A = this chain, B = another copy of it.
Amino acid sequence: MAPRTAADIRRSNLFQVLRRVFAAAPTSRHEIVAESGLSMATVASIATELLAAGVLLEVAPATRSKGRPLTRLALDPAYGSFVGVDVAETYLHVARYDASLTEVASTRREVDGEVRTPEDLERHLTDLLAQVTADRSTVRAVGISVPGLVDDESGVSVYAPNWDWRGVPLRARLSGRWQLPVHLDNPLKALMVSELWHDPDAAEANWAVVNLGTGVGAAIAVAGELYRGASNSAGEWGHTTVAVGGRECRCGGTGCVEAYIGAPGLVAFIEQVAPGHPWTTLGETAAVQALAEALAAGDDVARQVVAAAGAYLGAGLANLVNTVNPERIVLAGWVSDLLGDALLEAARPGVEHQALARPLQSVTMSRLTRPGNAVAFGAATFALEASLSQAHTEGSR
């Protein structure tokens, strides 16, 4: 949404200030001025607006040796709470955050195979939601991340590969049932938003977040804004071909990145390296866990598996580097969390081989190490953003 009118500039600046306040814990207006490049006057005006709206709070002034102590700004936890939901293929994670986006409560349920229909999901989520919220009236909005393709505007899960759902109007259903505003998107977009809030300096940059889990995907930020593409399916990097005529992928294609480095793809590599290996019977979550442990113990099979998968990951990342030319790539997701840096290191030579020198030079690759469920956090942030955005445009009407 390229700013067309002056009001858009205002909103964009307002969110920048908000993100910076969040990221820098209690900050002063001066710090924000220094970091954002906005003028003192502008920051002050935005701050007063947010203060008046009850979004921000002035916290205990820090007394310095000399002069007036600076009043610190922080998000006001009392503004309300926001719920973030990470619907993954093997588990559900629901967390409630106060308006300063600190987690208040969270719960998780393994649902491997237990969710088949939207009704199942609805039932589980309603249950989990009740677990984290005593009083639903304090919740301002819920953000939900669902794997697959999501139409963010209509709140419809367009295609969820694991359950083969097509066009399920999740937002309408859940919002109706809970009587709360619900925002829907997929894990990648949630991760990206999470990162944009945690690191507002990167909020100017072009970069990508890569999610490694059962499914695999990426989210791309252009000039610090989540890039959605024509139909909110930009970043479906997991179904990018890296081997013409290669492994079959559940998307129906062949040789997709996901087929090699998604959790089932890793299991396939185990089978390939050591046919009949006991890990292959464990189920993907446990198998990856076992792989991680064995890797730490220096197991040879594990090493070979990671090396094999790493080659494909490397090619996939190099593709991202060459086409998107990002400033950095961040790896996230439970597979990345479990395998740690090993997978990234296994991918590095491949990236260096396949990526062109110039874009390679300008990219940094790292692993997301923030504690907690970043997807749930991001989903809650979505809800917060939407909530504030609405309040802001309404307030100025």
Determine if A63 is an interface residue (Cβ-Cβ < 8 Å). no
Q: How far is the CB of A209 from chain B (nearest CB, A)?
A: 13
B206 touches A241 (CB 8 A): no
Q: Which of B6, B158, B233, B356 contacts A9 (CB 8 A)?
A: B6
Instruction: With CB as the reference atom, state the residue of chain B lying closest to A234.
Output: B325
B242 touches A2 (CB 8 A): no
A43–B8 alpha-carbon span in the complex (Å): 20
Q: Which residues of B contact A227 (CB under 8 A)?
A: 206, 222
Determine if A103 is an interface residue (Cβ-Cβ < 8 Å). no
A9 touches B3 (CB 8 A): yes
A242 touches B244 (CB 8 A): yes
Known: A223-B1, A323-B218, A324-B323. A312 touches B244 (CB 8 A): yes
Q: Which residues of B contact A359 (CB under 8 A)?
A: 229-231, 233-234, 236
Copies in the complex: 2
Q: How far is the CB of A371 from chain B (nearest CB, A)?
A: 28
Q: Which residues of B contact A230 (CB under 8 A)?
A: 205-207, 325-327, 359, 362-363
> Would you list which residues of chain A between 335 and 369 have a CB under 8 Å from chain B?
353-359, 361-363
Q: Which residues of B contact A8 (CB under 8 A)?
A: 3
Interface centre among A9, A361, A363 (most CB of B within 10 A): A9
Q: Which of B2, B318, B325 contacts A12 (CB 8 A)?
A: B2
Determine if A243 is an interface residue (Cβ-Cβ < 8 Å). yes
Comparing A24-32, A92-100, A118-126, A248-256, the segment that makes contact with chain B is A248-256
Determine if A66 is an interface residue (Cβ-Cβ < 8 Å). no
B241 touches A323 (CB 8 A): no
Determine if A237 is an interface residue (Cβ-Cβ < 8 Å). yes
Known: A2-B223, A243-B244. A251 touches B356 (CB 8 A): yes
Determine if A319 is an interface residue (Cβ-Cβ < 8 Å). yes
Known: A2-B3, A230-B327, A244-B312. A239 touches B354 (CB 8 A): yes
Q: Which of B220, B320, B356 contacts A233 (CB 8 A)?
A: B356
B315 touches A236 (CB 8 A): no
B358 touches A231 (CB 8 A): yes
Determine if A322 is an interface residue (Cβ-Cβ < 8 Å). yes
A240 touches B322 (CB 8 A): yes
Instruction: With CB as the reference atom, state the residue of chain B lying closest to A205.
Output: B230
A363–B320 alpha-carbon span in the complex (Å): 20
7 other A-B residue contacts (CB within 8 Å) besides A229-B325, A241-B242: A4-B12, A6-B9, A229-B326, A234-B325, A240-B322, A242-B244, A320-B323
Residues on A lying within 8 angstroms of B by beta carbon are 1-6, 8-9, 12, 149, 158-159, 205-207, 218, 220, 222-225, 227-237, 239-244, 246, 251-256, 311-312, 315-316, 318-320, 322-327, 353-359, 361-363
Give me 19 A-to-B residue pairs in the complex whose CB atoms sit less than 8 angstroms apart, sorted by A's number. Answer: A2-B12, A3-B3, A3-B9, A205-B230, A206-B229, A220-B323, A229-B326, A230-B326, A231-B362, A232-B325, A234-B324, A236-B325, A240-B318, A241-B242, A242-B242, A242-B244, A243-B243, A244-B246, A253-B354
